[in-house]
């Protein structure tokens, strides 16, 4: 590779871009998945039962059945452009011992393939065995939920290729709204409703709502300067006048 060839820039995979989405088992098949509320820290465990056979020289080890959990700290809010009642859904699924459908989406992998946006995703069927509700002082109510994976979470196919989702698999506008609580709002689009509650009529999708004439394009092509120096030019001084 030549020194001036294009090379990838080393970048961290942001944990803030890993988001969880769900679907209730009572929903119709045509429904897309929904964001699992406003999310705090999340994590996952992937373990396999370890068997150890001692010998005179060394232990022989092998792995057996797989056990996985996905843990999401779900922060309860009012509004937040969430289309579902997450607190109710989680409690209902726990109370009735239902299977929940869970997607772990890594927005670090968002890209365009064949003219379409796709993002890597993992799918699992999960159970909720414990549903803690944390009501600490001076903080939002949170539920640090452990989702127990039934079977094995599906992240890659047998060829090692990641499974992907597209815009049609999420609630409308989710590719734009994933990191937004609100869009740009004019004074006449926000205020108190008839019940005195703060509400808005503005869209959260303001991706293309700005004034393109107010600045220069971000993706404009620039012309590089040449490597040769211009010919030197020394301005001539006027000849002194003789009286």
SS3 of the chain: CCCCCCCCCCCCCCHHHEEEEEECCCCCCCCCEEECCEEEEEEEEEEEEEEEECCCCCCEEEEEEEEEEEEEEEECCCCCCCCCCHHHHHHHHHHCCCCEEEEEEEEEEEEEECCEEEEEEEEEEEEECCCCCECCCCCCCEEEEEEEEEEEEECECCCCCECEECHHHECCCHHHHCCCCCCCCCHHHEEECCCCCEEECCCCCCCCCCCHHHCCCCCCCCCCCCCCCCCCCCCCCCCCCCC
- For the residues 132-158, what does the mean pLDDT come to? 90
Token digits of residue 190: 């926000």
| Burial label, 226 (beta-carbon count in 10 A; 0-12, 13-18, 19+) | exposed
| Domains, the chain | 15-50+65-206 (2.30.110)
Q: Which residue has tokens 């944390």?
A: 134
| Confidence band for 145, pLDDT divided at 50, 70 and 90 | very high
Average confidence score pLDDT of the chain: 83
Q: pLDDT tens, 94-139?
A: 999 999 999 999 988 888 888 888 999 999 999 999 998 888 888 8
pTM, two decimal places: 0.74
Residue 1 pLDDT greater than 60, yes or no: no
| Confidence band for 93, pLDDT divided at 50, 70 and 90 | very high
Residue 241 pLDDT greater than 80, yes or no: no
Q: What pLDDT does residue 236 have?
A: 60
Q: What pLDDT does residue 22 have?
A: 92
Residue 4 pLDDT greater than 60, yes or no: yes
Q: pLDDT tens, 40-65?
A: 889 999 999 999 999 999 999 999 99
Q: What pLDDT does residue 186 have?
A: 76
| Confidence band for 213, pLDDT divided at 50, 70 and 90 | confident
Higher pLDDT among residues 156 and 14, named by residue: 156
Question: Contact 99/150 with Cβ under 8 angstroms?
Answer: yes
């Amino acid at each position: 590779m030549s020194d001036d060839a294009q090379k990838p820039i080393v970048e961290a995979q942001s944990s803030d871009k890993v988001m969880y989405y769900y679907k209730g088992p009572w929903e119709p098949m045509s429904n897309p998945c929904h964001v699992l509320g406003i999310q705090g820290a999340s994590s996952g465990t992937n373990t396999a039962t370890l068997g150890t056979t001692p010998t005179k020289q060394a232990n022989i080890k092998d792995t057996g059945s797989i056990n996985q959990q996905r843990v999401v700290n779900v922060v309860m809010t009012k509004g937040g452009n969430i289309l579902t009642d997450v607190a109710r859904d989680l409690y209902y699924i726990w109370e009735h011992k239902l299977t929940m459908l869970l997607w772990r989406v890594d927005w670090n992998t968002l890209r365009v393939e064949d003219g379409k946006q796709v993002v890597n995703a993992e799918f699992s069927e999960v159970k909720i065995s414990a549903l803690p509700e944390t009501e600490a002082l001076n903080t939002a109510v949170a539920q640090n939920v452990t989702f127990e994976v039934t079977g094995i979470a599906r992240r890659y196919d047998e060829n090692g290729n990641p499974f992907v989702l597209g815009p049609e698999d999420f609630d409308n506008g989710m590719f734009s709204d994933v990191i937004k609580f609100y869009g740009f709002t004019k004074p006449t689009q926000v205020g108190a409703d008839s019940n005195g509650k703060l509400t808005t009529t503005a869209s959260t999708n303001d991706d293309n709502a700005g004034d393109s004439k107010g600045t220069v394009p971000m993706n404009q092509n620039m012309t590089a300067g040449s490597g040769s120096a211009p010919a030197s030019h020394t301005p001539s001084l006027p000849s002194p006048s003789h009286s």
